[in-house]
Structure 1
Amino acid sequence: MIEVVAKLGRGPVFLAGEVLECVVSFSNPLSALSTSASSETLAWASAQIHCQFHASESRVHLPANEEPRQDVQAENETVFVPNRDSYSESLPLAAPPSFRGQSVKYVYKLTIGCQRVNCPIQLLRVPFRVLLLHALQNFQPPQEDEVAPSNPFLDEEGGGKKDSRLLDSAVEILMALTSRRTLHQFNISNSRGRVGTFCIFKTVYKIGEDVIGTFSFSDGEIPCLQYSVLLQTEESVQEEYRRSRAQPVSVTTHAQHHESCLHSAGTNFSLPIPLTSCPGFSTNIVSLKWRLHFEFVTSREPVEAPTVPENQSEIITWTGAGQIEVDTFSWDLPIKVLPTNPLLASYVSPVLSSHSICI
C-alpha cells in the first residue's frame, strides 16, 4: 500500500494569475513485522489543474459547438515529476472565479493521478478556490525589480518572486479601491412626499467587509413604519445564451436587516459581506452584480407620537393603532464587491488544504 498526501501549503484560495504550489508526498507505511517483499513500487504520477463548468439546461442555452466538457484542462503542460516532491502551475489571469450559482458553476480542482505496478489508476482530487481581480488583467512585474539587489539569505526562485509581486500588487489595488470614502446621500420619497434621507460613505467593498449605512427620518414628511435592507447578488445570463428573452435574473440574498422605525429620528444598519461569497464578475456566459435592496413601509396618514404630561407620576402605556393604511415601495442601490487577500479567505474556507488517498 502506498499513501499519497497532497497539501496546499499556503491554503486553498488563490488569485487568478498566482502560482499554485502543492506538496505531494508518497510513503509506504510498513509495520515493524513487514519485510522487503511487502514494499510497493510506484509506476508513475502526474497532476493537472481542471476547471469544471456546469450550466443549467433550463436557464442556459449553449450552441452545439460550445457544449461544456466534463473537465476543461489548463492550456499549459501540467506534468508532475514525483522526485521533486511538489507541483506548481500558474493560474490564467483571465480564468473565471470559483462560483456556484443557479445558472452556471465554475469549480476548480487539482487532480493527481498515480498508479502502482500491475494495479488500476487512482485519482486524488484537491479542490481549491479562485478569486478574480479584473484590475490584474494587464499586470506586468515592475522593471526595477529585475535589477534590484538580491538578498543572499533568502532562497527565492523566479516564479516565487513573480507570484509575490502579483499578490502585493493585488493587495495595493484593493486597498486603493476600497479605502476611498465619499459621502453619498440619497433622498427617500414616494408619490406622497419626502420620507427621509439615506447616507453611505462608500460603494466599493471587499468580501469580508461590512456595508454600513444610516437613515435620517427627522426631516421626513411621510412617517416610515418599518424598513428592510437586503444585501443581494444578481446572476444574469448573457442575452445570446438565455433560454428566453424574458428570462429573469437570479437573485440571492446574503444578509438582511429589518427594523421598525416609527417615531425614530434616525437609525443605521450593518450588513457583513460573507468571505465565502463570490465577488462581482462577468464572463461571456454570465455576469454577477451586487446591490442593496431597500423596502419601505410608510403610513398614508400622520401618526402622532405619544406625549407624556408634565408631573406625571403614574406609568403611561402607549398602544399603537390596530389598523393603518400603508404604502410600500422598494429601491435598489448597485454596489461593487471585490475579492480580498486570498490568505485571509483561506482562514475561513470550508475546503481542506490537505487530502490523501491510499493506492
Structure 2
Amino acid sequence: MTIEVTIKLTKGHVFLTGESVECSISFSHQLSANHTISQSNSNTVENVAWGSVQIYCHCFTSPKVNKDNKLQSNDTPMFAGTSLAITPESGLTVFSTKPKILFCDLKLYPGQTKTYNYKEKIPNDAPPSYRGQLVKYCYKITVGTQRVNHPVKLLKVPIRVLPLIEVSMSDAGEIYNETTEELTPTNPFLEVRQNENPLNLALQTLQNITARRNPNFYMISNKRGKVARFCLFKPAYKLGEDIVGSLDFTVATVECMQLSVALQCQEEALGLQETKLHTFSRHHEVCFGFQHTQLVLPIPLHVTPAFTTKLVNLKWNLHFEFVTIASKKHETIKSPDNWQAPSEVAIETMVWTLPIRLYSTTPAYVAQGIQSNDIHTLFIR
C-alpha cells in the first residue's frame, strides 16, 4: 500500500515578509496493482498516526562569519530547532513557526483522499531568502507524517521570501495622499480607511516610491578634469525593472574612450571587515568621439533586494569604469578634417560607484518570471 502526500502552494512559491503562506496538504491512499475486490475493508485501511506542518528558515554562514559573530549566541532563534527535524541539518534555524497538527489517527480507505488547508504568516522582521557568499537564508515548508509502525517521513518544500518595507498605520494617511496625488487623478471624496491592510499599504508605498521619476545629475570627474555628466532618471527600482540612464560627454574636458557599467550588490558581514561583491547586469560601450550615450541595465528577478539582519547588510550600487585618454595630444580635435587615429594612446582608468535603492515587487510577478513547481509529492510505501 502507498500513501501519497501532496503539497499544493495555492498562491505560488514566492512571498513577502508580513504575508501569509497558504497551501493545501493532501493525504491519499493509492490503490495498489494487486488490490482485489475480495479483500476486506479491514485489511486495506491504512492508519496514519499523525501529520504536522511547519515553516522554518535555516541560516548558513561562512566559517569566519560564524566564528567572529558568534552566531549561536547573538542570533538566537525563535526556537532552538524544528520539531520536525528528524535528521539534523548544518547551520542554524533562525526562524520557525509553531508546528501545526493536521490530524491524529487518520484512517484512509483505498482511493480515499483527505485534504487540509494550511495558512501561516511570515513575520515582518523575518530575514528574506538569500544565497550569498558570506550568509545564506533558506526557507522551507516541512510536512511530517508517520504511518503506524513505520519511520517518520518528511516532505520539504522550498519557498522564497522577499523583504518588504514596513509601514505603520500612523503613516497611512500620508502614504495614501502622496499616492493619490502622484499616481491617480485627484478625488476629494477619497479617504484613508483606518482598517487598511498593512501589507497593502506597504505594497502601495512601494509602488509610489519606485514609480516616482526624480532625475538626478552627477558630474563625473578625475584629477585632470570632467569626464561626463550622468543622469539617472530615478533612484529607486523594483525587481524586474530596467535601470535607465544617460551620459553627456559634451561637457567633458577629458576624452573618454570606453566605459563599463555594472549592477553590483555589496554583501557586508556586520562586525567584520569582510565584504563580497556580486556583479549581475553589465553595459559595455566604446564611446570615443561620442557626445551622448545611454545605458539600460535589467534587474534580474532572482536577486535579493537590499536588507539588513544581525549578520549581514546587503546594498546595491552602479559600478562605473571609465577608460580615459591620459595625454592631451591624443584628445579629439573639434574639427578633425584630416585627423588620423594614433597607433598608441596613453590611457588611465577611473572607477566610480553610485548607490541605488532596490526593492521587492509583487510575488506573482516574480513567480511568473522564475518558473517553479507549485505541487510537490512524497510517496510513503
TM-score computed with the length of structure 1 as normaliser: 0.83
- Secondary structure of the residue aligned to 1:174 is helix
Aligned twin of 1:107: 138
Aligned twin of 1:314: none
Q: Does structure 1 residue 324 correspond to structure 2 residue 345?
A: yes
Aligned twin of 2:207: 175
Aligned twin of 1:52: 58
CA distance in 2, matches of 1:342, 1:336: 19
CA distance in 1, matches of 2:222, 2:138: 44
- The answer to whether the Cα contact below 8 Å between 2:52 and 2:99 also exists between their aligned partners in 1 is no
- Secondary structure of the residue aligned to 1:168 is helix
- The answer to whether the Cα contact below 8 Å between 2:50 and 2:102 also exists between their aligned partners in 1 is no
Aligned twin of 1:266: 292
140 and 33 in structure 1: CA distance in 2 versus 1, 3 angstrom threshold: farther
Q: Does structure 1 residue 122 correspond to structure 2 residue 122?
A: no
Deviates more, 1:346-355 or 1:185-194: 346-355
- Secondary structure of the residue aligned to 2:214 is coil
Q: Does structure 1 residue 335 correspond to structure 2 residue 359?
A: no
- The answer to whether the Cα contact below 8 Å between 2:141 and 2:157 also exists between their aligned partners in 1 is yes
- The answer to whether the Cα contact below 8 Å between 1:257 and 1:271 also exists between their aligned partners in 2 is yes
CA distance in 1, matches of 2:264, 2:367: 23
| Runs of 5+ unmatched residues, structure 2 | 77-90, 107-113, 174-195
Deviation at 1:298, TM superposition (A): 0.6
71 and 181 in structure 1: CA distance in 2 versus 1, 3 angstrom threshold: same
- The answer to whether the Cα contact below 8 Å between 1:114 and 1:123 also exists between their aligned partners in 2 is yes
116 and 141 in structure 1: CA distance in 2 versus 1, 3 angstrom threshold: farther
Corresponding letter in the other structure for 1:93: N
TM-score computed with the length of structure 2 as normaliser: 0.79
Corresponding letter in the other structure for 1:231: L
Q: Does structure 1 residue 78 correspond to structure 2 residue 100?
A: yes
CA distance in 1, matches of 2:266, 2:280: 11
120 and 217 in structure 1: CA distance in 2 versus 1, 3 angstrom threshold: same
Figure out how many residues of one structure are paired with residues of the other and give that number.
Answer: 325
CA distance in 1, matches of 2:291, 2:211: 29
- The answer to whether the Cα contact below 8 Å between 1:30 and 1:39 also exists between their aligned partners in 2 is no
Corresponding letter in the other structure for 1:276: H
Between Structure 1 and Structure 2, the one with more strand by share is 2
Aligned twin of 1:30: 31
The match for 2:49 among 33, 36, 43 is: 43
Aligned twin of 2:222: 190
Q: Deviations over 1:283-323 (max 9, x none)?
A: 111100000001101112243468568xxxxxxxx863221
Deviates more, 1:42-51 or 1:73-82: 73-82
- Secondary structure of the residue aligned to 2:320 is strand
- The answer to whether the Cα contact below 8 Å between 2:55 and 2:97 also exists between their aligned partners in 1 is no
Q: Percent identity?
A: 39
- The answer to whether the Cα contact below 8 Å between 1:48 and 1:73 also exists between their aligned partners in 2 is no
Q: Does structure 1 residue 131 correspond to structure 2 residue 162?
A: yes
The match for 1:87 among 107, 118, 121 is: 118
Q: Deviations over 1:221-248 (max 9, x none)?
A: 1110000101000001111xx2xxxx34
320 and 75 in structure 1: CA distance in 2 versus 1, 3 angstrom threshold: same
- The answer to whether the Cα contact below 8 Å between 2:218 and 2:229 also exists between their aligned partners in 1 is yes
CA distance in 1, matches of 2:122, 2:172: 20
CA distance in 2, matches of 1:142, 1:215: 38
Aligned twin of 2:179: none
Q: Deviations over 1:54-84 (max 9, x none)?
A: 1111344232534776434525453334866
Corresponding letter in the other structure for 2:96: A
Corresponding letter in the other structure for 1:86: N
Aligned twin of 1:65: 73
Corresponding letter in the other structure for 2:153: Q
- Secondary structure of the residue aligned to 2:212 is coil
273 and 78 in structure 1: CA distance in 2 versus 1, 3 angstrom threshold: same
Corresponding letter in the other structure for 1:272: P
The match for 1:223 among 249, 255, 273 is: 255
CA distance in 1, matches of 2:172, 2:322: 51
Q: Deviations over 1:137-181 (max 9, x none)?
A: x469989xxxxxxxxxxxxxxxxxxxx934432321111111111
225 and 7 in structure 1: CA distance in 2 versus 1, 3 angstrom threshold: same
- Secondary structure of the residue aligned to 1:135 is coil
CA RMSD across the alignment? 2.6
